[in-house]
Copies of this chain bind each other. A is one copy, B any other.
């Protein structure tokens, strides 16, 4: 595979891995999940878990790493969104 094509793939992987951190940080700071879609976070978390599993099955380290790293903040945001829905407390309002 040409070098620049691989660069596009790896950069995409880095973006996908790190994109969850700013949202998890914002939710951690504000405890406000009011405008976050629970449907999105459920589907996305399942997707990240499946991509991680797929990476393990096809022994693709970058895929395992990107999704393994991204799963942690994803689960945190999902957890807090579920907590808030249950408690109907919209922090930071």
Contact = CB atoms under 8 A, between A and B. Distances in A.
Contacts of A82: none
Indicate the size class of the contact surface on chain A.
35 or more
A32 B92 CA distance: 13
Which of A5, A8, A18, A30 has the most chain B CB within a 10 Å cutoff? A8
Which of A11, A18, A19 has the most chain B CB within a 10 Å cutoff? A19
A50 interface: yes
A9 B52 CA distance: 10
Interface string A2-34: 000100110111111011111101110010111
Contact of A35 (B20, B21, B30, B53): B30
